[in-house]
Amino acid sequence: MTIGLIRKAVQSGNLKEPFTAAEVNLLLRINWGGNFLAKHSVGNRSTTELFIRVDRGLYRLKG
């Protein structure tokens, strides 16, 4: 589960907040991190809100 892996990486210090899609891609060995972060960001209103966009291309976990 992608969100679980991101949460675990933040908690362990392997992913520092705020993070970029490129950092998520590298950490999880995926190539769709940007789409995932944008889709699940606060204010998107199309799905679950798991991340807060703090600046262009920078995200942190919600809650």
Predicted model pTM:
0.91
Range of the domain at 42: 2-61
The backbone region for 47, taken as left when phi is positive above 0, alpha when psi lies in -120 to 50, beta otherwise, is beta
* pLDDT for position 8: 98
CA dist., res. 62 & res. 40, Å (int)? 10
- CA angle in degrees (0–180, nearest 5) for 56-51-4: 130
DSSP string, 1-27: -HHHHHHHHHHHTSSPSSB-HHHHHHH
* pLDDT for position 59: 98
Residue by residue, pLDDT tens for the chain (63 residues) are 899 999 999 999 999 999 999 999 999 999 999 999 999 999 988 779 999 999 999 999 998
**Running DSSP on this structure, what letter comes out for residue 34?**
H
